[in-house]
Amino acid sequence: MEQELTRATVDPHYTWDVTRIYASDEAWEQAYAALREDGKAFAALAGTLSSGREAILTAISRYAKLEAAMSRVYCYAMMKQNEDTTVGKYQGMLAQAASLASELGADGAFLMPELLALPDGTLEALIDDPDFAEYDAMLRSALRMKPHTLTAREEQLLAMAGDVCGAPENAYDLLTDADMDLGMTRGDDGKKTKLTDARLLSFLNSHDRAVRKAAYVNTMNGYGKLGNAISALYAGQVKADVFMAKARGYESARQAALYPDEVGEDVYDSLIEAVHGGIGTLSEYLRIKKEQLGLSVMHMYDMYVDIDTGFDIRMDIGEAFDTFLKAVAPLGEDYVKDASRALPERWIDVYETKNKRGGAYSCGSVHDTTPYVLLNHKKTYDGLSTLCHEMGHAMHSFYSNKTQPEAKAEYTIFVAEVASTCNEILLSEYLMKQYEGNREAQIMLVGNLLEHFRTTVFRQTMFAEFEHKAHRMAEADKPLTKDSLCEMYYDLNKLYYGGACKVDKEVANEWMRIPHFYSSFYVYKYATGFCAAVALARGILSGDPEKLAAYRKFLTLGGSMPPIEELKVAGVDMSTPQPVCEALDYFAELVGVYSGLLAEE
Ligand SMILES: [Zn+2]
């Protein structure tokens, strides 16, 4: 077995160079102290905005600087803590950074209400004022919130209610993280082992059906035992959403949730409608999978297991990085040239080291440095694909930071997964060509994409439908109980999976294990982002220079425009069902290819 790397033994060439953010921890300490002072000085500007244009410009520009400095302080502390999560010094710095962020929030709390209290027409004029060009996106979103902003006293009451409205989520987290015990289950080695929600997926990947079934049934029943409590908590969450939306004069909780992204409810509805149109193809895919797994009946716990062809891609980081650069060649020579800097310039923290944070992410929120990427690289297809995904985020930040001023360089969640997913699809398409004629490789590559589709487009849209139905029930004063929620969730599973699977009764409890339901109307963005990325990647691969230019323009936009408008610049109009339909056409094509591959001897 390889010796575990530590921060002391890992080759520094494969670690990120955080000195671009601060030269040393001492420099961070100084910046931290200075920022605290700046926050206090900023708070003294309260009450000055009514005195005119100059005062407004001073306040807004100083606030933007505070936010940027806060990102810098936070990112450095987070990255150092993530390198080794057990180091007390960096735990302390990260906690300090978090508390400074809430301190600055309080220091700057006067800004938005004072802006909104300015006489009618003032914000509109500032948006067109060239001196405010850097802040136009922020002013536009303030103006947009104006009709839903209440009097100072009412806002104060809502802020006080905010704590109470957060109680269901807190209780749910504690209940499922700390109090819940899913007991033991049988592992691949036949021995009893501890079952946790985080480990469920690895059990569901087991090629031993009894292992899959036991883990699945134990998990669903484990949640079911707390089902009355979880249902009451979720009902509380939904009612809080409905209360807040009503208080602010929205027509529905969903409209309120979508409003800040400037996304209309029609986008949400047309996603669901279009995905319903693809359910037949989903069933076809699952029937092929069932046959290949040699099952007479496909149960809900059989869906996650991969068809093992024995093929994998085993690349060390150097090879993986070269492959990434080749896969993104369709994005243009300069994209490849810019991206090729990432490894030699140490944007990436490559290897797993002792106590390093797990998973992977990209951090591009420090405006005048390069983006950074955390990996835990493994020599697998998944490792390669993760590198491409995170570099997609990183390059989106790179071009946005380069093009946009600090105050509007950061992109929103609605568009965040587009560039990363686009790179993943470019990688799949590149490898499919490279391994032409290699049946095992093709099955693995196509199978991976199909699973990605199933879990992102179909599953997340089903979740989106569930939360929409739950909120509609609450808005119609119908009770949200364990029975009504479970029945609704079960029926949705029948709709999505009933064509190919035995929809086991246990699945009725599955909604209870989805923490995202406490960030209402969030998951649909995974599905829309994926579909947009598919449409864009296909456009790029078609070789049409205009489509490529549009996409490259999109990468530079940061947060300068409403997300739906940014995607229109890229070449997809999410206010129509067309991109979702196009993505589903691609899914159907892939199902055809998959079926052909599996039929070959
Ligand atoms: Zn991502």
> Domain limits of the chain?
19-149, 248-311+438-601
pTM (2 decimals)? 0.92
Q: How far is the CA of 360 from the centre of ligand 1 (A)?
A: 9
Query: What are the tens digits of pLDDT across the range 241-266?
Result: 999 999 999 999 999 999 999 999 99
Q: How far is the CA of 390 from the centre of ligand 1 (A)?
A: 6
**Residue 370 · residue 347 · CB < 8 Å:** yes
Q: How far apart are CA 272 and CA 586, in angstroms?
A: 17
Q: How far is the CA of 560 from the centre of ligand 1 (A)?
A: 20
Give the residues of the chain that fall short of pLDDT 70: 1-2, 601
**Residue 591 · residue 281 · CB < 8 Å:** yes
Q: How far apart are CA 160 and CA 433, in angstroms?
A: 58
Active site residues: 390
Q: How far apart are CA 361 and CA 95, in angstroms?
A: 20
Same fold flag, 19-149 and 248-311+438-601: no
CB atoms within 10 A of CB 520: 21
Its CATH class, for the domain covering 19-149, is: mainly alpha
| Of 33, 521, 433, 4, the residue nearest 254 (C-alpha) | 521
Report the pLDDT value the prediction gives residue 601, as an integer from 0 to 100: 63
Q: How far is the CA of 150 from the centre of ligand 1 (A)?
A: 36
Domain 248-311+438-601 sits in CATH at 1.10.1370.20
CB atoms within 10 A of CB 185: 22
| Of 11, 483, 403, the residue nearest 224 (C-alpha) | 483
Tokens linked to 249: 């004069």
Residues paired with residue 299 on neighbouring β-strands, in sequence order:
502
Contacts of 582 (CB under 8 A, 6+ apart): 531, 534, 535, 538
Q: How far is the CA of 361 from the centre of ligand 1 (A)?
A: 7
Query: Distance between alpha carbon 205 and the CA centroid of its chain, in Å?
Result: 23
Looking up tokens 């193809």, which residue turns up? 281
CB atoms within 10 A of CB 99: 10
The DSSP-derived string for 9-53 is: TS-GGGS--GGGT-SSHHHHHHHHHHHHHHHHHHHTTTT-GGG-H
Report the pLDDT value the prediction gives residue 1, as an integer from 0 to 100: 44
| Of 249, 253, 282, the residue nearest 522 (C-alpha) | 253
**Residue 389 · residue 424 · CB < 8 Å:** yes
Distances (CA, A) of 194 to 5, 184, 186, 401, 511: 27, 4, 8, 45, 22
**Residue 471 · residue 238 · CB < 8 Å:** yes
Tell me the backbone φ, ψ of residue 194, rounded to 5 degrees. -70, 135
Query: Distance between alpha carbon 244 and the CA centroid of its chain, in Å?
Result: 24
Q: Is the dihedral of CA 83, 86, 91, 92 positive or negative?
A: negative
Report the pLDDT value the prediction gives residue 478, as an integer from 0 to 100: 96
Looking up tokens 């605290």, which residue turns up? 36
Q: How far is the CA of 563 from the centre of ligand 1 (A)?
A: 16
CB environment 441-466: b (16+ within 10 A), e (fewer): bbbbbbbbbbbbbbebbbbbbbbbbb
Tokens linked to 55: 């005062």
Report the pLDDT value the prediction gives residue 40, as an integer from 0 to 100: 96
**Residue 271 · residue 528 · CB < 8 Å:** yes
